[in-house]
Structure formats: C-alpha cells, structure tokens
Structure 1
C-alpha cells in the first residue's frame, strides 16, 4: 500500500494489464499526475528522473542495499527509477512491504526493461504499515531482488527483536558470475544495543559457515558500536576506509548523517562503492561493485 494516499489505482491496474506496453503505461502515469498531483516528498511525482547516463542493463557484479522507509510518503515508481539508475545484480531491501516490492518489480520491468526474481524475509504481518484486509494484513520485513534465480532461501526471525520483530534472510545467487551467499538483515532500533548484540551473534554464526558471503542491510549502529564486533571479525565493509575504530572514515548513509547501512564482504574483494542520497527514503542508497573471484584474505581485526 502506498502511504501517501496519492497512488493512482488506474496506473496500478494498467501496469498489470499492459506489462510490455511502455507507451500506454507512461500515458496512464502522466494522467495520474494530473489527477492526484505530486506524491514524492520532494514535491515531484517521480523525484529526479533517470539520468541520460543511467545504466541500461543489469551490472552483473553490483550489489545494493536500501532501507526503503516505511511508513513514508514515497512513490514506488520513483523507487524503481532510483534502482534502475544503477541496475544492480542484487538488491537487498529493508522495511519492505510485499505489495510495494511487487509494484517496484513491475515498474522495473515495464518502465525500465529490468527483470528481477524476488525472495522475501517478512517477519511481520502489519496492516498499519502494509495495508491488506484486517484478517489478511500485508507482510513486512526484508526482500532480495536478483537478476539471477535464487536458491536455498531461508527466513529467520531473531529470538529477541527488540521493540519490533526483526530478522534476517539469506539466498544463494550469482554475483559477478560466481555463486554467493547473500544475507539481508535489519537489526533492532537505535537505542537497543544489547538486543542488537544478540542479533549480530546469531547472524555472524551463519555468515561464518560460508567462505564467500555478502551480509548487507540496515544494522542500526555506527561502525565502532561494540555490538557489530562479531560481524567485523568475519568480514570487511565495502568501503576500505571504513573501519570499526576512530581512525576509520565512514561515509554516512542516513538523513541524520550516521552510517547505519553496510555491505560486508567475506572472501570477496570490493572494486568501488557509492552512497547516493534519495528523496524516497531517510536512508541513502548504497551500492558496491565487487570481484567475487578474488579474496582480500582474512577480515581486518577489530
């Protein structure tokens, strides 16, 4: 469910009925702009448009994490356009309603020609966040989109979620032509350090089983937070300058200028990364290009 109240039902139905017909889909969306006005926080229906130099096809070694923010007054058309700009092979989303993810996937395909498989790691059935009928509320949690098929999908709820149920999901998929285990998580809220410490122990135990893994998501903690120590002991952040010490220089990933979002790499070398602000969430987009065939060696010590 769109939280803005400005979603045009005709556009949603048209996207389903005319999957491959971009012209008609675009015309319906423009009509909706006249009927309902802007729906993005920036005041524009789509926010910024996809730049001319945007990626035209999926980048096979690119991985992205994005807390898409819920509830937020954001357009799924705009969210899809942001993803399409960088066209990662794998996208891990947090605070994701199944209904929103399905719409984003449809727009990625019908408006941008990008097809993704999906797996969900929903830990809540939340009518307030995701809509649906009171007896059948929408599912809320994590999601992974991948241009390649995914296997061995698992969904795990942490024994203690804190003030809201939290968990992680994991899939095996192709990144840069290599099979990689990808973990996507959303840890407990900011002031719940002891809860997060228990969650990272659970997550680290599973990540440690794999020689080549990516653990991404919203960890709700700055790099030198003690509760992240089990993850740092296994993997390095995609930003080589970011370390769990006062000597590290970590680019912020949130509107309040803290680094909460990570792409941790185990047995995989980073090539380049980017943090991109967006009008569609209070978290920035973070993506990285990696070389799964080359290992950096052991993780940096904490």
Structure 2
C-alpha cells in the first residue's frame, strides 16, 4: 500500500579538493540550467494562458487539480449510485487522498496501483481493474460496508480496516478536506464545485468525442442522450450530476454545462444563466 517507509540514500562523499576555477564554472552552468528551465516552462505552459486548471469548493479553501476533481467525482458517483450515505464518500475520498493524492497511479509500493493503491497480488483485481476508478472505488466500498459501525466509527480506523496500511493514523488528517469535497460533489445546491480550464484548440471530430462523453455519463452520472452538434442531455439528474460533469470537463473537453438556471463555461466557471430546471445539458467544445 502507499505510505510504506522509504529508505534514504547516503549522499556521495564530497571530493577532498577541486580544480581551480571549477566553482565559477558550476555556478555558470546552474544559471544556464535555470534560464533554460524558465524558457521551457513558458513555452510548454501555453504562453499567455491565464486560465487556471484547478477546481475550488464553495465556502472552503479546498483546491484540487482537474485530475483530482475528476477522480473524486467518480468516487462520489459510485457511492451515490449504491445508495450509500455521504459518510461513505468522505471515507473513500480521505483514503484516496492518503494513498494516491486522488490520482490514478500506475505505480506504487510493490504491486500497488490506482486511486486506492490496491494490490492485484492480494486479490483486489487485475492490474487493469484496479486502475479503473469505477472498479477500484467499488472494491473499496465493498470492503467499507463490511466494517462494523463504519458510518459512526473514527475515519482512520474504518479506512485502516479496509486498507491495512503501514501508517494507520495517516487517513485521519484528510477528513476535513474530504468532508468539504464530498459536500460539494453531493450537494443539491448550485455551483458548489467549479473548475476552469483552457479547452484544446484541436479537440478532434465531435461525433466520436460525443460517444465517449455519453458512455462516461451513463456509467457514472445518469441516462445521457446525445444530440447533434456535441450536445448531450441528462434528464432526471440533479446537481451531483452537474458537479460530476464540471469535475470531468477538462478530461472530456466540455465547453459548457447548463442546469436549473445556471451555466458553467470552461473559462468562466459558474454564473446565472439559462437552462431547463429538470434537464442537465452538456456541450462539447467544437
């Protein structure tokens, strides 16, 4: 599991002496390396882009990356689809934060993988399965609901009963963060989670991308229906589905989301807008 002890390496011994003039040369090389790094970051970062790719929780100082938000939304969606109370999402999010920082890792201690650092050799599933966030969350929840008094027990004790980590107290520190994030993802109030990002200039043909988004929505959020021009509707679903779409917007390249008189855009976040009160509408970038 993640969190295993890492043994540090002893630093190499410093030479007893160095050739004259080597210190200035090293200083010059360091300065050149810094200059090159700055140039590379500026070019790779898209130049003048001022749109952050982070997500924020209303009324909280919690900030997560778009990758973390998407995985967190999947965790919340799986728990909600099982009819589990919000406490299940809080425990799962705190566990994933400790194990992987809510990232779907392709590495870990020994053969640990995925959001929860589950080990295929210990019966959690195949390598592909434990790196599927929906499957991995389901397996964690399978274990969670078998823990006596999991709904009322101390978070770190419950998580440890499922994970059996070498650091059983480590989960507890993430309860406030997980509570705020779960509250936003499961809330029936407008705009509790907002994300902003700059859409790709060349996203590809809209029809294949629409099919991918429809499949993702149907698997995690609700009965999606595709329409012409990259528009998708999800009737009968509420704010949790809208928050799921916002969390996955960067990954799925969504341009706008409309629900219950509110509209989210990729570069502006949530604002009062227009929308059918009962129909969530998702628009892909074109």
Q: What is the TM-score of this pair, normalised by structure 2?
A: 0.29
Higher relative contact order (CA 8 A, sep 6+): 2
Q: What is the TM-score of this pair, normalised by structure 1?
A: 0.28
Larger radius of gyration: 2
Higher helix share: 2
